[in-house]
Amino acid sequence: MVQSRGNWSGTLGFVLAAMGSAVGLGNVWRFSYITGEYGGAAFILVYLGCVVAVAIPIMIAELLIGRRTQRNVVGAFSTLRPGTPWFLAGWLGVTVGFVLLSYYSVVGGWVLHYISLAILDGFAGQSTAAIGQLFQSLSANQALQVFWHAVFMTATIWFVSRGVSGGIEWGNRIMMPALFFMLCFLLVYALTTDGAAEGIAFLLTPDWDKISPKAVLEALGQAFFSLSVGMGTLITYGSYLQRDARLPRSALFVTASDTGIAILAGFVIFPLVFTFQLEPNAGPALIFETLPAAFGQLPFGQFLAVLFFLLLTFAALSSAMPLLEVVVAYFVDEKGWTRMQASWIMGGIIFALGVPSALNGGFFGFIDMLTTNWLLPLGGLFVAIFAGWSLTHQERQAEIPASDLRPVLYLGWVFLLRFVAPIAVTVILLQSIGLF
């Protein structure tokens, strides 16, 4: 069974793939524009709080559930607690996988479009206003957005249809470090620009007045989105994991790299925002206005622009693949479809679902808000309650022995899972609908 589902080539392959899933558009595109909208430093601190107190404990729980059952999200819950409604939590994950990928792929398409723009003229000599106009033309051109969305989805389907090790591990080893070095290079440039001091102050000087209940909800959603937690991606990934991997250590490693890359991206983007006199709260257009303007100024800017958007495409693809994988694994395991069938049929449906997001910015914003801020935290809440309250100590410790997590840390993790994460998620969600 395990063999026929495929397996990671080893712990390193798994950690790289989990990092690949975590690091994506969420770190560069979403993190910077949300941070810009909610005022910078204070928002980042709330975000970090959500990562540590809520997302990491749930990430470890997802990995545990996956590896213990070696099943897809729905199968995992029904294997552990057969005959109970817990399988519905798995269903939520499959549904969220569908919806999230549908609009994620639209943004992946925007990045592809920017590769083509970079190849065609490289942004050199264009005013900031002209560069801003490029994004507006793209938003206004529905056919073009659907076209790039189709290209991105086809690539995702193709990789996933090739299978776990072949499809998903491929590329992560080179692309992740390359993206990191590219961001470091851009950081050096960004820090020498005129807006550097203002950009850094924006990221480091908290203004707590900007933290509304809405901002806290966004920070929570972003933590789930960025770490790929709350919809069973990591249950599915954990299910392909061999017994010798240490789950808490892998989770920490993935979180540290994901958070590090998001913050690094912030330090690249905000100096540029102030240098080019753009608004930090420009919304989803933010990176598409700042980075091309920077490439336009840099020596070898055209080459660097193509390279950067290519790397971002790979980061986006390695995040999109697990989203489709969650859906495909369900149809392969539970319905006996072949991987090829499941990938193309479900990928095709997801493509169709994404078309309205490509056609209408308002719909895009709504579906992003619904998925990221509501459905992912809700999925995470179920995992926390399941792993914290329904699983027994014996079940948890079979996957996370004292050799992997010292007893005091184990107790801390269970405490976060049982109390802190569920209460925080519930309070934040209820507060957002104005119940307090």
Per-residue exposure over 379-391, b if at least 16 CB sit within 10 Å of its own CB, e if not: bbbbbbbbbbeeb
Question: Cα-flanking dihedrals φ and ψ of residue 195, to 5°?
Answer: -85, 5
Give the residue with the Cβ less far from ligand PFF, 43 or 123: 43
DSSP designation for 30 = I
Which lies closer to ligand PFF via its Cβ, residue 64 or residue 200?
Answer: 64
Please report how close the Cβ of residue 317 comes to ligand PFF at its closest, in angstroms.
Answer: 10
- Residue 401: Cβ within 10 Å count: 11
Nearer to ligand PFF, 170 or 298 (CB): 170
Give start and end residues of each alpha helix (H) in 276-418. 286-297, 301-335, 339-359, 361-368, 376-385, 393-399, 407-415
Interior/surface letters 168-186, b for 16+ CB within 10 angstroms, e for the rest: bbbbbeebbebbbebbeeb
User: Using CB atoms, what's the residue nearest to ligand PFF?
Assistant: 26
CB 193 within 8 A of CB 341: no
| Closer residue to ligand PFF in complex, CB, 229/416 | 229
Q: Which is nearer to ligand PFF, 316 or 385 (CB)?
A: 316
Q: How far apart (Å, rounded) are the C-alpha atoms in residues 358 and 184? A: 32
Nearest to 395 by CA among 148, 39, 65: 65
Q: What DSSP character marks residue 246?
A: -
Closest distance between ligand PFF and the C-beta of residue 410, in Å? 26
Torsion of CA 405, 94, 99, 425, to 10 degrees: -40
Closest distance to ligand PFF from the beta carbon of 375 (Å): 11
Tell me how far, at minimum, the Cβ of 291 lies from ligand PFF, in Å.
Answer: 16
* Residue ranges in contact with ligand PFF by CB under 6 A: 21-22, 24-27, 100, 225-226, 228, 231, 233, 319, 322-323
CB of 301 to ligand PFF, least distance (A): 25
* Nearest residue (CB) to ligand PFF, 200 versus 387: 387
- HSE, side-chain direction, 13 A CA sphere, residue 410: 15
Q: To the nearest whole angstrom, how small is the minimum distance from the Cβ of residue 93 to ligand PFF?
A: 9
Q: 């014996």: which residue's tokens? A: 394
Pick 22 or 287: Cβ nearer ligand PFF:
22
CB of 325 to ligand PFF, least distance (A): 9
CB of 321 to ligand PFF, least distance (A): 9
Per the listing, tokens 């997302």 go with 55
Would you say 25 or 217 has its CB closer to ligand PFF? 25
CA distances from 377 to 9, 70, 78, 224, 231 (A): 31, 24, 21, 7, 9
User: What is the closest distance, in whole angstroms, from the C-beta atom of residue 84 to ligand PFF in the complex?
Assistant: 24
Two tokens, residue 424: 């925080």
Angle, nearest 10°, between helix axes 172-191 and 286-297? 70
Q: Which is nearer to ligand PFF, 22 or 94 (CB)?
A: 22
